[in-house]
Amino acid sequence: MSRELKNLLYEHVARVGKALSSPKRLELLELLAQGEKTVEVLANEAAIDMKLASAHLRVLKESRLVEARRDGRFIAYRLSGDDVAALWANLHTVATEHLVELRMALNTIVAEPERLTAETRLSLLNKASQGDVVVLDVRPEAEYQSAHLPHARSIPLPELKRRLAELPKDKEIVAYCRGPFCLMSNEAADLLRKRGYKVSKISDGVAEWAAAGLPVEISD
Amino acid sequence: MSRELKNLLYEHVARVGKALSSPKRLELLELLAQGEKTVEVLANEAAIDMKLASAHLRVLKESRLVEARRDGRFIAYRLSGDDVAALWANLHTVATEHLVELRMALNTIVAEPERLTAETRLSLLNKASQGDVVVLDVRPEAEYQSAHLPHARSIPLPELKRRLAELPKDKEIVAYCRGPFCLMSNEAADLLRKRGYKVSKISDGVAEWAAAGLPVEISD
DNA sequence: ACAACACTCTAATAATCGTTAGAGTGTTGA
DNA sequence: TCAACACTCTAACGATTATTAGAGTGTTGT
C-alpha cells in the first residue's frame, strides 16, 4: 500500500537528479553559482543558442533548482538557494573522486588534480586575513560583487595585464575563479608567474568554499 | 580550443547526474547506504525484477557510485565511498527543501516534515551517550551491524512486538531507520506509543547522520 | 501605437533510456 | 562432471529527452 507512495517520493527526487544529468545544465548551474545572470549572458558564456539555454533553464526551474525574475526586458535566473550550490560542489567532488575518466580529462587540462583540505582552506583564510597572502579573484567583476572569498581582491582576467601594478611582487598571490572546471585562474597564474610574481592557484570557487562551511563575502 | 575539453568535464559529471535521475536507482542507492547487499536482496527490497535491478546496478557501477564484489554465487554491491551516501543525503535534502510537490507527498505519508538541525542532533548524541534516551534502530540487524547511530540499540521492526520487554517505559525512546523516506521507524513509533512508551521518531538514517559530520558506529 | 528586443512556447525530429525476454557466464554442491 | 543457482549480457520495444525552427508574449523606447 505504501509502495506507490514511496515510489512517488523517489520520483520527485529523481526529477532533481534528471536536472543534473545534462552537461549543459551543469555548466549553467555552475555559472549561476557565481551569481544572478540573464539568459543572454548564460547562453553566451556557455556558448549555446539562447533558445537552447532557455529550454535548459526551464528544466532547472521545473526541478526548482533555479528561480527566474523579470528585470525589464531581461529575465534573470539565480539558484534557489545556497544548498543548490553545495549540491553542485558535492556532485563534482564525488565525480572527480570516483570517475577515473574525469580525473584523466582534468589532468590533460591542468596538471594539478589536488583538492583542498579543510586545513589548507583554514590556513589560507588565516593568512589572507593577516595580509600575508593576496587572494585574487579573476572572474568578471559582477561575479565578484555577487560573492567572493574573504579578503579577496578583484582583477578580472582580461584586465590583469594592465593592472599588474596593483599586485605586490614580494607577497604570495593565490588566484581563484569559478571552481575546479574553470581555467581563468590557471591563465592568470601562468601570466603572473612569467612576470616574476609568487603565485599559485586553488581549485575552489565560492560554491566549493561555502560548501566546505566557510564564509563568503558579499559586496553591497 | 578549451571548450571541447571543458564540455568533456561536464559530460563526465553529468554521467553521475544521470545515474541519479531514476527513482529505482535512487532507491537502490538508499538501500546500499545501509550497507553491502546482494542483487537478490536489493531486488526484493526495492520490489523489482532481479534483471531490472541488475541493469540499474550496472548503470550505477558505470558511474562509479557503487562497486561490486563476488561472494560465492552471490554478487554483493556497496557504495564506492561515504561521499556517495553524503551525496544522496544532500540530493534528497535539496529536493525536500525546494520541491513543493515532494514535501506535499511526504506530508500525505507522515504528518511530520521537520528536519533535524545541528543542535537537535548534538543534543540527541549527548543524551544518548548519557543514557537519558534510548536510540532505537528498527532496521534489519544486518544493516545495524554495517553501521548505526552512536549508542543505538537494534530491534528490527518485525521483532519489536515480542521484544518490548527490552525497552524501558520511563525513558524517552527515539526510533530511526533508513532515512527520511523510510517508514519503519514510523510504524515502530506508532506501535510503541500505543503501548504507553514515550517514543518519538527522527528522519535521519546513518547517511544523513554521517553527512551532518557526526560519527557512526560499526559493529565488528 | 509601434517597432525592437529578450525571451518563451509549440511542434517535430533524431537520439537515448527503461524495461522485459532469452541466452550466456561463473560458482557451488552432489 | 553435471545440475542448480545467481546473476549478466544482448536484443528489442515503446517511452523520454535534446535540439532546432517558427510563432507568440511581455517590456521598453519612440
pLDDT, tens digit, for every residue of A194-213? 999 999 999 999 999 999 99
Residue B38's CB is within 10 A of a number of other CB atoms, namely 18
pLDDT by 10s per residue, chain B, length 220: 477 788 899 999 999 999 999 999 999 999 999 999 999 999 999 999 999 999 999 999 999 999 999 999 999 999 999 999 999 999 999 999 999 888 888 887 776 656 788 889 999 999 999 999 999 999 999 999 999 999 999 999 999 999 999 999 999 999 999 999 999 999 999 999 999 999 999 999 999 999 999 999 998 6
Neighboring chain B residues of A157 at a CB cutoff of 8 Å = none
Over residues A53-67, the mean pLDDT reads: 97
**Is the CB of residue B170 less than 8 Å from the CB of residue B197?**
no
Helices (H) and strands (E) in chain B, counts: 10, 7
Characterize the bridge pairing of strands B199-201 and B172-176.
Answer: parallel
3-state class of A202 per DSSP?
coil
Please indicate whether, in this complex, the C-beta atoms of A17 and B91 are within 8 angstroms of each other.
yes
Q: How far is B4 from chain A (nearest CA, A)?
A: 11
| Residue B71 phi, psi dihedral angles, 5° rounding | -130, 90
Buried b / exposed e along A47-73 (16+ C-beta atoms within 10 A): ebeeeebeebbebbeebbbbbeeeeee
| pTM for the predicted model, two decimal places | 0.93
Element (H, E) at A95: helix A82-98
Characterize the bridge pairing of strands B37-38 and A74-79.
Answer: unpaired
Find the nucleotide nearest A39 (Cα to C1′): C7
Confidence of residue A116 (pLDDT cuts 50, 70, 90): confident
> With a CB-CB cutoff of 8 Å, which residues 118-177 of chain A face chain B?
none
Over residues A10-14, the mean pLDDT reads: 96
Element (H, E) at A69: strand A66-71
What's the pLDDT at A111? Answer: 64
Chain C bases near protein CB atoms (7 A cut-off): 4-10, 17-22, 26-29
